[in-house]
Amino acid sequence: MTIGKISIYYPSPRRQRPRPATTSCVAPPATAAGVNADAAGHPSRSEDATQRPRTEKIWIAPSASVASRRPAKRSRGAFRGAMVNPRTRREIVFESTLERDLAYILTTTPSVVDVRDQVGPVEYVDTDGVVRQHTLDFVADLEDGTRTAFAVKPARRVGPSGIGRTLELIRDQRPGVADRFVVRTGDHITRDRAVNARLLHRALRGRDEAHIADVKAVASTLRGCVAIREILAASRDPGQGFMAVACLIADGVLEHVGPGRLSIDSFVRPRRTTGTNH
């Protein structure tokens, strides 16, 4: 409103913000089981969760690797790393993707009791009479009491490296190191075997004994080969059952039948032989 040269402004009334609802100090009503409920009488989600059985797990740090040397952390054109043996809770180091994959295969093979990495250096005398040293990639202790030493190489480097002859000399001159000496390449360490081994490794690290016992009871009735999905259909918790089947394969109760990657369509049967094909 304007009177002459004087303008008069009337302030608009202030809007009052709604006050937040006050928090009641009275506990919500309880159900017959003594669980707090909401206004509709349904148990609250947080309270309902506390009524479910829980399994407490304590994380234990893995022990250090027993390797005679640790791979360099940085190396151009090479792959370095470490993993944990789920059976012994000990670190295993590797220097290539092939070594990594073989480490997963060995640590999830039922007949393998323990795996030592970077064993040595082992002294031997070559064909020219020169004393040399060689570090074995892995030495596996088997359940039959024998030991197998592994050298890992790409197939194209086996011949030029002379690794076959080196292992023969060590076998003849140092019989106490291992009972068998073998070379493993990508022809043995296939991608499917490596993928399956990593699956078994993950199952072992997160194993649930209750689910394993449930599936094991079903597996004890097997006669011959059966698809994993049939075992899961007969178990009480199919969702957790697949990883339980993976644990039973790693434990040597079941064995995967046929090639390919492990899935619910894969076939398994009760384990028949220990086998040494690593």
Model confidence pLDDT, tens digit, residues 165-205? 999 999 999 989 999 999 999 999 999 999 999 999 999 99
219 with 251, same domain: the answer is yes
180 with 139, same domain: the answer is yes
Residue 26 belongs to a domain: no
**What CATH number is associated with residue 151?**
3.40.1350.10
Give the pLDDT band of residue 28 (cuts 50, 70, 90).
Answer: very low
221 with 174, same domain: the answer is no
119 with 173, same domain: the answer is yes
Residue 161 belongs to a domain: yes
**What CATH number is associated with residue 265?**
1.10.10
Q: Tens of pLDDT along 229-240?
A: 999 998 888 778
Residue 135 belongs to a domain: yes
Over residues 33-37, mean pLDDT? 43
Q: Which segment of 14-18, 239-243, 252-256 scores lowest on mean pLDDT?
A: 14-18
Over residues 248-262, mean pLDDT? 95
Q: Tens of pLDDT along 40-74?
A: 444 444 444 444 455 566 777 877 777 767 766 66
Residue 87 belongs to a domain: yes
Question: Does 93 have pLDDT greater than 50?
Answer: yes
164 with 86, same domain: the answer is yes
Written as six digits, the tokens of 231 are: 């075992």
For residue 255, list its beta bridge partners. Answer: 269
Which residues are CB-neighbours of 159 under 8 A, at least 6 positions away?
none
Q: Give how far Cα 161 sits from Cα of 51, 82, 88, 180, 270, Å.
A: 63, 25, 33, 20, 41
Out of 184, 218, 234, a domain closes at 184
162 with 213, same domain: the answer is no
129 with 222, same domain: the answer is no
Q: What is the pLDDT of residue 267?
A: 96
Q: What is the pLDDT of residue 11?
A: 52
3-state helix, strand, coil in the chain (%, to 5): 30, 25, 45
Residue 276 belongs to a domain: no
Q: Give how far Cα 108 sits from Cα of 27, 124, 247, 251, Å.
A: 52, 32, 9, 8
Over residues 218-241, mean pLDDT? 89
**Residue 153 CB coordination number (10 Å):** 20
Give the pLDDT band of residue 258 (cuts 50, 70, 90).
Answer: confident
State the chain's mean pLDDT as an integer: 82
Which residues are CB-neighbours of 206 under 8 A, at least 6 positions away?
243
Domain count, the chain: 2
The boundaries of the domain holding residue 222 are: 206-270
